[in-house]
Every structure is written in structure tokens, then in C-alpha cells.
Structure 1
Amino acid sequence: IWSTSNKDVVLIESRDDITAGDGVRHDIIAHKGVLATETTCNCFSLLNAKGIPTHFIERESERRFLALRAKMIPVELVARRIATGSYLKRHPETIEGTVFDPLIFAIL
């Protein structure tokens, strides 16, 4: 997140990094930042078009968009296909590697 010449506006840039386990695992996925920006901008544009106010102003480039400066609500959505990691710690009765079909979603 970058400051701009307007103190009320920030520039948000998406990168190709992906992490797991609070940063213990780190990889790069080519073009992830572009896809993340496209998805984010589409979602916020749809919300704005339906009269739901958001912080979104406009897409600035493939990886960047402008937004109003705001306090972030600390919500994380996790989608799980396979039982592993922290899920197993919270659900020790589950066998490691169990495939979830459909996906399991958790809001943290």
C-alpha cells in the first residue's frame, strides 16, 4: 500500500507472492498479482454499481488500484480443499490429506 499526493487516497499494489502458515511457506505464482487486482476491482466495481459504498476508486494499472484510505477490518477467508496444517490442529479427529468436496470455507 503506497501513499499518494492526496492524503485521503492510497495506491494498492498486488504482488505474485503467496504465503501459508503465517509466512512460514513462501512462493511466487506468475501473474497472481494481476489476477488478484482484476478480481478485487471487479468485486468492488459490482458493489459500487449496486449502491454499496466501498473504498475503491479506480484501477490504475494491471497490478494497482486507487482506494480511499481506510482502516482495514481484519477478516481472512480461507478455502480448504485438503485437510492439512492449522486445520488439523483445530480438528485432530480429521485424517491428514482428507479431500473436502465441496471446499470448506472459514472466516478468521
Structure 2
Amino acid sequence: MEVKITSENFEELKNGSLPLMVDFWATWCGPCRAIAPIIEELAKEYDGKLVVGKCDVEENDDIAMEYGIRNIPTILFIKNGEVADRFVGATTKAALKEKFDAFLG
């Protein structure tokens, strides 16, 4: 299941018991829309193993600025409140699945 990330829930999610993957995106971003179905599929596949969140950079520019998000889509992998990995740009499901698996170890 995907979670909408906002300034109100971000701290709680990033420090939660499950690792967090954050997809930084915007409605006008073509590559973001292209990988959205992939992220959705992976959210279902990894349900219970990690939290998959989507953060609209226009609505939550404070979070985007805090993490130095300059290009979208950018995906952050956060474990124990710290960024463990980052992926920038559109990609394939196989490449993202590889990142997910490596992140979860």
C-alpha cells in the first residue's frame, strides 16, 4: 500500500518500525507518471516489509529541500531515520526491485 507523505506525517514514517521508501514526484512530471504504476506494484509486493510513500514536491517543498531533491523522480530509501540509498530518474521495475531487495538486505 502506498502512503501519501506530508509534512505532518513524514517524521513519524521515517522513524517508524519499517524502512521507508519515498518517491518524490509532481503531477506535471512525465517520468514520474511513467514509473507510478511500477511503484504501485512494488508497494503491493513489499507490503509489510517496508512503507512505500509518495511525496508531491509542490505540496511538500520543505521535505524536498531538506533532502536536496533537485530532480524528479527521486526515490529515497530511509532506514532508522537515515537515508540509506537514493535513486534519481525513471527506471525499470527490475532495476527498482533490485534496489528494494538490496535495501531490505
TM-score of the superposition, structure 2-length normalised? 0.31
| Greater helix fraction, Structure 1 or Structure 2 | 2
Greater RCO (CA < 8 Å, at least 6 residues apart): 2
